[in-house]
Amino acid sequence: MKDPKKTNEKLDQLESHSTSNDQEMLTTNQGLKINNNQDSLKAGDRGATLLEDFILREKITHFDHERIPERVVHARGSGAHGVFKLTKSLAEYTKAKFLTEVGKETPVFVRFSTVAGNRGSTDLARDVRGFAVKFYTEEGNYDLVANNIPVFFIQDAIKFPDLVHAVKPEPHNEIPQAQSAHDTFWDFISLMPESMHMIMWLMSDRAIPRSFSRMEGFGVHSFKFINEEGKVHFVKFHFKPKLGVHSVAWDEAQRISGVDPDFHKRDLWESIENGMFPEWDFGVQLIPEEDEDKFDFDLLDPTKIVPEEEVPVQLVGTLTLNKNPENFFAETEQIAFHPGHIVPGIDFSNDPLLQGRLFSYTDTQLIRLGGPNFHEIPINRSIKTVHNNQRDGYMRQQIAKGKVSYEPNSIGGGCPFQAMMSEGGFTSHQERVSGTKVRQRSESFVDHYSQAKLFYNSQSEPEKMHLQNALIFELSKVTMPEIRERMVGQLAFIDRALAFKVAENLGVEVKELEFPNQSLPADSNHV
């Protein structure tokens, strides 16, 4: 057991927004004392209730508006505060200050989630887990919006709404709620060879973690590090749990779901309450810009990993979660992560999935959190005071003084000014880009099976058996034989014995597919 870290700069900031109702008298939202919270105002003993009863009206109106939309994906979440401590300087590769000074501690908030289920769904679903980390750095918020699986289903953001529509409960009957197999998901997957590497991970034990503190986290995309001299390295981010990676088997997951659907949420909460703080090593894989083309896959392809044998993960820091939120809604629910929240020294790659994500998060949060001022919600505030000329909008909290809110201006009047280049600030990495404007997939993204095979072959015999049984179980829920057939056709490109075993159990044949190892042509929207 370790001593809980009492506070940090972010927790102090949150404290200034906190209230306690302990020993306080009940009031309305206008501060008026309430001396009867049991009865509404009536005309006579037996009513009717009077419209005049502003205390009743206020209480019920607020209650009526308690719900906000759940996240369109990753709706079910659990979060905690913590600290990131740097153990090895990355100054050679990046100028991001929280990654250069050994021993530096940066406050963080982490939110774990499942992807497909709604807010009330079970923690134990076979699903990807979100692992989103907000670093409250002295240079502004940096969000590493990661998952517990190192690759993704699709290569291009334009397929994301299709993927999510396929995996979510079917629109006509809202079945299935859980991630159990169904026609729409497997129909889509069977037509998307690029998803096969991810499917191998998803059908493996990795997709049912034992706890949040026993799962890995991956940034998935290649990002860029830029150092003081402007030198670029591609970087892949990793979190490795100090407790090791542990999963539960499918039948255990089924039973736990029935008895305690909050199993992971409870474990995280209780571990922290009991001072057994979940910890991860933070690691990076670094690839010099000039080595971008030395791999047999494209570094920009999010369905590929960079093998750790080729580029070892260097451990450079520790992430520790040491404080539960005071209020689930205010913190875990209202937090807004965004892969576009970066700091100097970190930049995006041209991964077409990442590029689409950069649009999606603010867009959805504008509606989920009710307008353009959600950066002012306490959990989202940077520990640095924000200064700019943005103003007004629903729910504005900040009272900006002065009469000028534009720039340039000659009046002054409270207007913030732009930093000189020499004074720091964010500069996008300069990169030469040229080419013809095209709507197509790069040829370098075309190999969909090599890494799926590598992953399958890396599994031990019991793990292979779990994966095989998962496919049989999930595909047995698919009602349309042609979808089952297409799926075993896909599996045959990964491992023929696996495909035949699954096919035998499903009562279908393994047939040659027409679209091996390539994305579907743009003009084939159905088979």
Look up residue 191 and give its amino acid. L
Angstrom distance (rounded) from CA 154 to CA 162: 10
Cβ contact 157:352 at 8 Å: yes
Angstrom distance (rounded) from CA 357 to CA 359: 5
Angstrom distance (rounded) from CA 373 to CA 386: 12
Residue 106 is encoded by which pair of tokens? 């940066």
For the bound state, the minimum distance from the C-beta of residue 76 to ligand HEM, rounded and expressed in Å, comes to 10
Question: What part of residues 147-186 is at the interface with ligand HEM (CB under 6 A)?
Answer: 147, 152, 157, 160
Look up residue 348 and give its amino acid. F
**Given candidates 73, 272, 306, 503, which one binds ligand HEM under the rule CB under 6 A?**
73
**Given candidates 118, 184, 350, 364, which one binds ligand HEM under the rule CB under 6 A?**
364
What distances in angstroms separate CA 348 from CA 58, 226, 451, one per listed residue?
47, 11, 24
For the bound state, the minimum distance from the C-beta of residue 345 to ligand HEM, rounded and expressed in Å, comes to 20
Of 8, 141, 147, 324, catalytic = 147
Quick one: which segment of 179-187, 246-254, 266-274, 355-363 binds ligand HEM (CB under 6 A)?
355-363
For the bound state, the minimum distance from the C-beta of residue 74 to ligand HEM, rounded and expressed in Å, comes to 3
Quick one: which segment of 34-42, 66-74, 340-348, 413-421 binds ligand HEM (CB under 6 A)?
66-74
**Given candidates 10, 11, 14, 74, which one binds ligand HEM under the rule CB under 6 A?**
74
Please, which residue, 131 or 250, has the CB nearer to ligand HEM? 131
Helix, strand, coil content of the chain in percent (nearest 5):
30, 15, 55
Angstrom distance (rounded) from CA 520 to CA 190: 11
For the bound state, the minimum distance from the C-beta of residue 198 to ligand HEM, rounded and expressed in Å, comes to 10
Whether 29 is catalytic: no
Angstrom distance (rounded) from CA 116 to CA 123: 11
**Given candidates 11, 124, 132, 207, which one binds ligand HEM under the rule CB under 6 A?**
132
Question: What part of residues 314-353 is at the interface with ligand HEM (CB under 6 A)?
Answer: 335-337, 353
Whether 227 is catalytic: no
Please, which residue, 125 or 146, has the CB nearer to ligand HEM? 146
Q: Does 375 bind ligand HEM (CB under 6 A)?
A: no
Angstrom distance (rounded) from CA 256 to CA 254: 6
Q: Does 445 bind ligand HEM (CB under 6 A)?
A: no
Of 74, 81, 238, 264, catalytic = 74
Angstrom distance (rounded) from CA 190 to CA 513: 10
**Given candidates 304, 341, 357, 466, which one binds ligand HEM under the rule CB under 6 A?**
357
For the bound state, the minimum distance from the C-beta of residue 394 to ligand HEM, rounded and expressed in Å, comes to 17
461-476 helix and 196-203 helix, angle to the nearest 10 degrees? 100
For the bound state, the minimum distance from the C-beta of residue 368 to ligand HEM, rounded and expressed in Å, comes to 5
DSSP assigned state of 209: B
Residue nearest to ligand HEM (CB): 130
For the bound state, the minimum distance from the C-beta of residue 524 to ligand HEM, rounded and expressed in Å, comes to 21
For the bound state, the minimum distance from the C-beta of residue 127 to ligand HEM, rounded and expressed in Å, comes to 12
Please, which residue, 369 or 483, has the CB nearer to ligand HEM? 369
Cβ contact 139:120 at 8 Å: no
Length of the chain counted residue by residue: 527
**Given candidates 111, 238, 304, 448, which one binds ligand HEM under the rule CB under 6 A?**
111
The helix (H) or strand (E) run that includes residue 451 is: helix 450-458
One DSSP character per residue, 386-406 reads P--S----TT------SS--S
Cβ contact 67:101 at 8 Å: no
Q: Does 365 bind ligand HEM (CB under 6 A)?
A: yes
Angstrom distance (rounded) from CA 234 to CA 347: 9
Who contacts 316 (Cβ-Cβ below 8 Å, separation ≥6)?
86, 87, 88, 89, 90, 99, 282, 283, 284
Helix (H, G, I), strand (E, B) or coil at 516: coil
Q: First and final CA of the chain: distance in angstroms?
A: 58
Please, which residue, 448 or 484, has the CB nearer to ligand HEM? 448
**Given candidates 59, 104, 240, 368, which one binds ligand HEM under the rule CB under 6 A?**
368
Q: Does 378 bind ligand HEM (CB under 6 A)?
A: no
Interface residues toward ligand HEM, by CB under 6 A: 71-74, 77, 111, 113, 130, 132, 145-147, 152, 157, 160, 220, 335-337, 353, 356-357, 360-361, 364-365, 368
Q: Cite the active site residues.
A: 74, 147
